[in-house]
Homo-oligomer: A and B are copies of this chain.
Amino acid sequence: MSEFEESGIGEECGVFGCVAAGEWPTQLEVAQVLTLGLVALQHRGQESAGIVTSNGVNPPTYNTLKGMGLVNNAFPPEDLLKMRSCNLGIGHTRYSTTGISELQNCQPFVVDTLHGKIAVAHNGELVNAAALRRKVMRHGVGLSTSSDSELITQLLALTPPMEEVDAPDWVARIKNLMHETPTSYSLLVMYTDVIYAVRDPYGNRPLSIGRLVPCLGRGKSGHPSSVCLLCLVLRYYREVMPGEIVQISKHGIKSLSIVPRPEGDLPAFCIFEYVYFARPDSIFEGQMVYTVRQQCGRQLAIEAPTEADVVSTVPESATPAALGYAQQSGLPYVEVLCKNRYVGRTFIQPNTRLRQLGVAKKFGALTDNFAGKRVVLVDDSIVRGNTISPIIKLLKEAGATEVHIRVASPPIRFPCYMGINIPTKEELIANRPEFKDIAGYIGATSVQYLSVEGLVSAVQGGIPSIQKGERISTKPSRRVGHCTACLTGKYPVELEW
């Protein structure tokens, strides 16, 4: 059954790569696994998707598929079927942070160099991208897109200068790159038959490694020959460390190097990954995201207790926090809203009146569960305040006597320059005059947020001193730090403009 054992890198942030570990060539499945991996990351970017595969021989044949929209629509099945005999590959889903949204800016980016083609998929945003662009162009290189990914490929090709005679030392080139730009990036670099998984020294964006394993079932009669494959599971292996370069090939997983941070700097893993971006089953720093969110709910119940009858959630992302709030407060947890999964985000409404009707139809009120009661409604964040208002109205209209909003994260107040799309400072509700009477503005009985300290303690309290998944000999810094820039305005590195 070794043909199913494929070693793969599972990344929770829009990049995904995989290498078939069994006998090469495999048939078709690497492209399929990439596609499934991107679907699993779809929540991180819905504007475009791309995959590049290699057959792994020298010189390699690369195949590229890119498309706008969701992964399932972006790749025509007939094109996927054409991707035969690919043995490794990398993929990307994109929600534009830099660069306008066009097929051309879609990753992974492939360039041909003197030593063959490399493909790069990048999650994050280079804080010094403008300076690096000027540097590359001063060398006489023209840049055909505005994406960081092209910039990275050209930087890799440029330094040190290439000679036709020597072999390309891609690891040295990657280290050079890491010295040129501190953050933020989780990178996959594919060259012929290897993938380099790279995480910036601050570890701002997540990047993990896993292994696909088959689950076997037994046939009716139970005798061995009727064993059949039931499913494949991506078994979590470990995170790539801040600053680490890991090489993945058919021969296995190998840690090559760790590029250090400046003396005294703490790691700066994005705390909003815990709050919102990551899937609840992700594991960061040794702890499950769902559990951290539940802990945020508990902390919120301590910081902002409420006289009420029931606790509920705005489904689905706030559910762990709501359950945590209920457990801590001792109030019963009920469902008050049911969601119509067919109401898409893209539904076009010609005027505001109908757009709000749309919000209302997205949720139905489960009246019996709260009519005549005081409701604590836990949400994971309030960014603009547009969606919570109609929900509160809906609950009141359906019989709730009080609706107390409890937000399981602190208010966002500052822009992010490290890869997260955030509304302008003016659009953020915490920076607006209405915020002074936020409860009145959105129609709630009361509104309370989790404190920054509460969030940090919920996150850092659960990190084990030695990570569970740790199996490698390198000793990364156990010192804990997180980027809270969007909440506090304290950025982990000095920003260049």
Contacts and interface: CB of A to CB of B under 8 A. Distances in A.
Interface residues of A, number: 113
A110 interface: yes
A375 to B, nearest CB: 15
Contacts of A32: 349-350, 354, 357
Nearest to A77: B348
B368 A290 contact: yes
Given A142-B111, A164-B138, A361-B40, A342 B230 contact: no
A470 interface: no
A104 interface: yes
Interface in A342-371: 342-344, 346-350, 352-354, 356-361, 364-369
Interface in A100-152: 103-104, 109-114, 118, 133-134, 137-144, 146, 150
B368 A291 contact: yes
B142 A443 contact: no
Contacts of A230: 356, 389-390, 393, 443
A70 B288 contact: no
Contact of A217 (B36, B334, B393): B393
Contacts of A335: 290, 319-320, 323
Interface string A28-51: 110011001001101100100000
A340 interface: yes
Interface in A425-459: 434, 437, 440-441, 443
A198 interface: no
A281 B367 contact: yes
A162 interface: yes
A298 interface: no
Nearest to A287: B368
Interface in A243-296: 279-281, 288, 290-291
A358 B339 CA distance: 23
Contacts of A161: 139-140
A338 B40 contact: no
A8 to B, nearest CB: 12
A71 interface: yes
A39 B340 CA distance: 8
Contacts of A28: 350
Interface in A386-400: 389-390, 393-394, 397-398
Given A231-B359, A394-B231, A162 B140 contact: yes
Interface string A218-236: 1010100000011111110
A290 B288 CA distance: 31
B342 A390 contact: no
Q: Which of A104, A146, A164, A342: most chain B CB closer than 10 A?
A: A342
Contacts of A4: 353
A358 B349 CA distance: 33
A345 to B, nearest CB: 10
A488 interface: no
A153 interface: yes
Contact of A109 (B144, B154, B354): B144
Contacts of A33: 354, 357
Given A140-B157, A441-B220, A39 B134 contact: no
Nearest to A326: B333
Contact of A434 (B118, B220, B389): B220
A421 interface: no
Contacts of A344: 72
A42 B150 CA distance: 32
A302 interface: no
Q: Which of A118, A390, A398: most chain B CB closer than 10 A?
A: A390
Contact of A141 (B64, B154, B339, B358): B154
A440 to B, nearest CB: 8
19 contacts: A4-B353, A36-B354, A36-B361, A40-B361, A43-B342, A112-B143, A113-B137, A113-B140, A139-B141, A140-B158, A142-B154, A144-B150, A213-B397, A215-B360, A231-B393, A232-B357, A281-B364, A290-B368, A333-B333
